Amino acid sequence: MRNLSVIKNCIKIIQKKYKKEEKELPRMFSFFLETMSFEPPITDEETFKKVFQAGDTTGIFQFESDGMRMFLVKLQADRIDDLVAMNALYRPGPMEFIPNYIARKRGDEPVTYMSQELRDMLTKKYSADVAEEENKKLIEDL
Cβ neighbours around 93 below 10 Å, total:
7
- Encode pLDDT of 12-64 as tens digits: 788 788 777 766 666 666 666 666 655 656 677 888 888 899 998 887 889 99
- 8, 32 contact by CB (below 8 A): yes
CA-only gyration radius of the chain, Å? 19
CA distance 13 to 36: 16
Contacts of 115 (CB under 8 A, 6+ apart): none
- 115, 138 contact by CB (below 8 A): no
Q: pLDDT band at residue 80, thresholds of 50, 70 and 90?
A: confident
Q: What is the pTM of this model?
A: 0.63
- Encode pLDDT of 120-134 as tens digits: 777 666 545 556 666
Angle at 134 between CA 73 and CA 96, to 5 degrees: 40
